[in-house]
Structure 1
């Protein structure tokens, strides 16, 4: 594709139109990490599942500006709105790649907890790429958008398509997985977030002095469970190498995990780099029971029952 052709914003009735895109968060069913390479990144083998808690991004053109601006539906001091925000960076990268001179405003309604291990920032970035593609009629292919996504972060390429996928490399080399299995999770959000770099630093400290780690190979038992719909095998195959590091930094999570596991959930684990705890349950009745118990914990700021897999970033208007 040539990036030199003229690209014009989408119009509705002659007026510049905003484009609304929703993008889900994710849980990691499996996450194995290796020692950092010379570039500082940790090689990963992980299995993502997109779940039905969504970020919403509305992108609109600012004809008399050239910058990218951002606002939040419910302002959160922990979420920046400048160029350190991944969604703003996504819009800037898209503008640069396609030679767009107009400004873009992003209005973001966040439902995924910030610094919660569910890729809320990456979801905003994936949604922004889809929104800018629709807004400027760029007709970018999925491969084009995935190329941009890989420049932004490890989780962003997966969230463009969602579903379930094996991810390798930095977590950005995606192989979709086929399953007819719908999973129900109870998510317990902790009152304080965790920095992903801090969790990886603690992971490195825990393994300091040991031989170099390599991420596990493809998790065959978990993939078999997804393919055959075997929820017991899947529960036994859940794994997160970052869990202990996250608990060390956020000790209250250990109690959340213990209660989730003792309350009847099939399994419970830290989602990604934490601190969100994801409890796998058999269905709505068990979900409500586990949710009720987890809400009694003082360190739990809130809970949510979610399902997966769901589709990735998609235009809603």
Structure 2
């Protein structure tokens, strides 16, 4: 996933330059999400198919010299996607700040007293790395608490940015281990494209990502918190109001969807979209069910909730039909949704992506 070439500015006395880079932080949708039983660790067993979408935050990471000899982590930001009165969590209260902290711990702990020179590129050198002040600035364009992975995308972008600034000292396995510690979606969002997720979502198996998919996103002002949605699913299952785990074979459903996508049979793929959290989302926010039905009635081949909602997306045959479905959905939306939902047609994939052989996000570009 290409970011901007790092820039350097000389620090005081011309030593220890300040370096900076900006990374895109694309969102994701879940084309398929089967939720198994709750595990002993409190997480649910998941089987999911991730797909990147070019709705993205912009994350700028700056490394400054630390004259006080201490690591410091600062996160700030804003942007049009933040609802009125919604404040971005600061510093290490933000997942992006925790990503910077974990990266610093890995960088200094992997080879005590020896690491890379920020901004020089290449592998680890014999020069010791002193503490740095890490500043993260996030321009939010992904709505928060929307099921699109915005916070996780920001954390993934910080990991990629620090890899770039420090010359890619961590290998793929190490970087993905850090991502796993940050959250279930972060390992996928470090890489992007299309991938199957297993376990709690963090075991990522990349898949061929052609073709890019014509989608309609229904972006709303409603907000749902992930833990609340999973608790509601467990409650509904306990009362027999949602299908229990094991009611069908999700592996077969996912395989059928992957087969349809592999041959670009979107008519076949549409009805195979799935999200087991939909019943819980609708229970907590009935408008989610209205939006899913509205996208289908507006001409989409299928529609589903993304992640833990409330964002809903529809799959169309091509961008012309996606644009037409978005217009119809906006026209036919019930009065109660007026001003609360925006229907956005787009092609899935990473910004600027040419689908074919994927670039390695862990190596210098």
Same fold (TM over 0.5): yes
> Is the Cα contact below 8 Å between 1:160 and 1:313 reproduced in 2?
no
Q: Where does structure 1 lack aligned partners over 5 or more consecutive residues?
A: 1-9
1:156–1:277 Cα change, 3 Å: same
Which structure is larger by alpha-carbon Rg, 1 or 2? 2
Aligned to 1:292: 327
Deviation at 1:137, TM superposition (A): 2.4
- Match for residue 215 of structure 2? 185
Q: 2:296 aligns with which of 261, 264, 278?
A: 261
C-alpha distance in 1 between matches for 2:55 and 2:188: 15
* C-alpha distance after superposition, 1:101-131 (max 9, x if no partner): 2120000111111001010011001000011
* 2:117 corresponding residue in structure 1: none
Return the offset for 1:285.
2.2
Q: Which secondary structure does the structure 1 equivalent of 2:230 belong to?
A: helix
Q: In the alignment, what sits opposite 1:57?
A: 59
Pick one of 4, 8, 14 that aligns with 1:12: 8
Aligned with 1:45: secondary structure?
strand
Counterpart-to-counterpart distance in 1, 2:236 and 2:19: 51
Tell me the CA shift for residue 133 of structure 1. 1.4
Query: Distance between the aligned counterparts of 2:217 and 2:244, measured in 1?
Result: 33
Counterpart residue number, 1:88: 97
Q: 1:242 aligns with which of 272, 277, 280?
A: 277
CA drift of 1:78 comes to 4.5
Whole-Å separation in 1 of the counterparts to 2:90 and 2:224: 19
> How far apart are 1:313 and its partner, in Å?
10
Aligned length: 308
Find the counterpart in structure 2 of residue 207 from structure 1.
237
TM-score (structure 1 length as normaliser): 0.90
Match of 2:188 in 1: 158
215-224 or 120-129: which moved more? 215-224
Q: What is the distance in 1 between the residues matched to 2:319 and 2:245?
A: 39
- CA offsets, 1:230-279, max 9 Å, x none? 11111121111001101111111221112111111111111111000101
- 2:81 corresponds to 1:71: no
Deviation at 1:309, TM superposition (A): 2.8
Q: What is aligned with 2:250?
A: 216
Give the TM-score taking structure 2 as reference length. Answer: 0.78
* Aligned equivalent of 1:271: 306
Q: 1:224 to 1:236 in 2, by over 3 A?
A: same
Choose which of 310, 317, 332 in structure 2 pairs with 1:282: 317
Q: Secondary structure at the match of 1:115?
A: coil
Relative contact order: is structure 1 or structure 2 higher (C-alpha 8 Å, sep ≥ 6)? 1
Q: Which stretch shifts more, 37-46 or 78-87? A: 78-87
Q: CA RMSD in A?
A: 2.4
CA, structure 1 residues 12+78, in 2 after alignment: closer, same or farther (shift >3 Å)?
A: closer
Q: Structure 2: which 5+ runs fail to align?
A: 1-5, 11-16, 109-129, 354-358
Distance 1:204 1:223 in 2: 28
